[in-house]
């Protein structure tokens, strides 16, 4: 059974960088049969896909245009996890952040396993 | 970006009755090469992440009760709960995975009448 365990701060100051980690068990971040995603949810923006990383002979990342200039997703094969870094935070970035897996080699499928979520507040 | 809309915003259904949720996409989610619709449905309860119910518009995820069914093609889709149970009270979302960025509908809240 795949499990995704998130860690990271819940309170971050404006202009700072958010760093979240998603530890994977029951699968591998290097799998050729999955992609690894970050999604956030807020009352104002609903569910918003932020980006993904995946390995197909080399590493790939895709980002939503809305966060592309501020976001980095990195895989860590030694710890079997992947991370999100989101810089230049504003209160509009306050949301519940989730990591999630998409199964399959193509990357086109629903999100079948989710992390527990991290409720992040951006406030001074 | 593909825009997803849902209707109604909320609905109240009696135990054992049918609940129907509609989802519309701003462009077709059907790939002609494989005749698959790139649409998923999720259930979310308070304090929990969304749970995948349906993918490919009508394929039920493993372990999902058969009272949940998905239908539709192209730009119009429906999630049906054939006989509502108390544990089905939740918010339901549709999501397209036809193209990046993946996008979600705004959600439909299902309550007991």
DSSP per-residue string spanning chain A: --EEEEE--SEE-TTS-EEEEEEEESS-TT-TTEEEEEEEEETTTEEEEEEEEEESSSEEEEE-TTTTTTEEEEEETTTTEEEEEE-S--GGG-EEEEEEEEESSS--S---EE---EEEEE--
For position B65, what pLDDT does the model report? 98
Looking at beta carbons, which residues of chain A come within 8 Å of B64? Answer: none
CB of B108 less than 8 A from some CB of A: no
B40 to chain A nearest CA, in Å? 6
C-beta separation of A83 from A21 below 8 A: yes
The answer on pLDDT for A108 being more than 90 is no
Select the residue of B38, B61, B102 nearest A112 (Cβ to Cβ).
B61
**How close is the nearest chain B Cα to the Cα of A67, in Å?**
11
- Chain B residues with CB under 8 Å of A64 CB are 100-101
Whether the predicted pLDDT of A105 surpasses 90: no
The shortest CB-CB distance from A49 to any of B52, B103, B106 is to: B103
**Chain A: residue nearest B5 by CA?**
A46
Task: Please write the tens of the pLDDT for every residue from A27-50.
Answer: 999 999 999 999 999 999 999 999
Which residues of chain A are within 8 Å of residue B103 when distances are taken between CB atoms? 49
Report whether pLDDT(A111) > 90. yes
Report in angstroms the alpha-carbon separations of B110 from A97, B13, B14, B17, B42: 24, 7, 10, 12, 13
Give me chain A's average pLDDT, please: 96
Does the pLDDT of residue A106 top 90, yes or no? no
pLDDT at A107 over 90: no
**Non-local CB neighbours of A44 within 8 Å, separated by 6+ positions:** A92
């Amino acid at each position: 059974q795949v499990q995704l365990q998130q860690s990271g701060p819940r309170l971050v100051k404006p202009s700072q960088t958010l760093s979240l980690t998603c530890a994977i068990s029951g699968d591998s971040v290097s799998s050729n049969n999955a992609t690894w995603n970050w999604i956030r949810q807020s009352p104002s923006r609903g569910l918003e896909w932020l980006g993904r990383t995946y390995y197909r002979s080399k590493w790939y990342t895709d980002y939503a245009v809305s966060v592309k200039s501020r976001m980095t997703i990195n895989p860590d094969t030694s710890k079997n996890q992947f991370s999100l870094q989101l810089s230049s935070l504003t209160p509009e970035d306050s949301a519940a952040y989730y990591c999630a897996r998409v199964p399959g080699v193509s990357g086109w499928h629903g999100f079948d396993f989710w992390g527990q979520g991290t409720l992040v507040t951006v406030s001074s | 970006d593909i825009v997803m809309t849902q209707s109604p915003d909320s609905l109240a259904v009696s135990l054992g009755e049918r609940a129907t949720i509609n989802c519309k996409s701003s462009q077709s989610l059907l790939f002609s090469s494989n005749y698959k619709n790139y649409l998923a449905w999720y259930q979310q309860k308070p304090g929990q992440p969304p749970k995948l119910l349906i993918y490919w518009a009508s394929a039920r995820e493993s372990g999902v009760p058969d009272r949940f069914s998905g239908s539709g093609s192209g730009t119009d889709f429906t999630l049906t709960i054939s006989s509502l149970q108390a544990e089905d009270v939740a918010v339901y979302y549709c999501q397209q995975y036809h193209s990046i960025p993946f996008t979600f509908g705004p959600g439909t809240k299902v309550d007991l009448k």
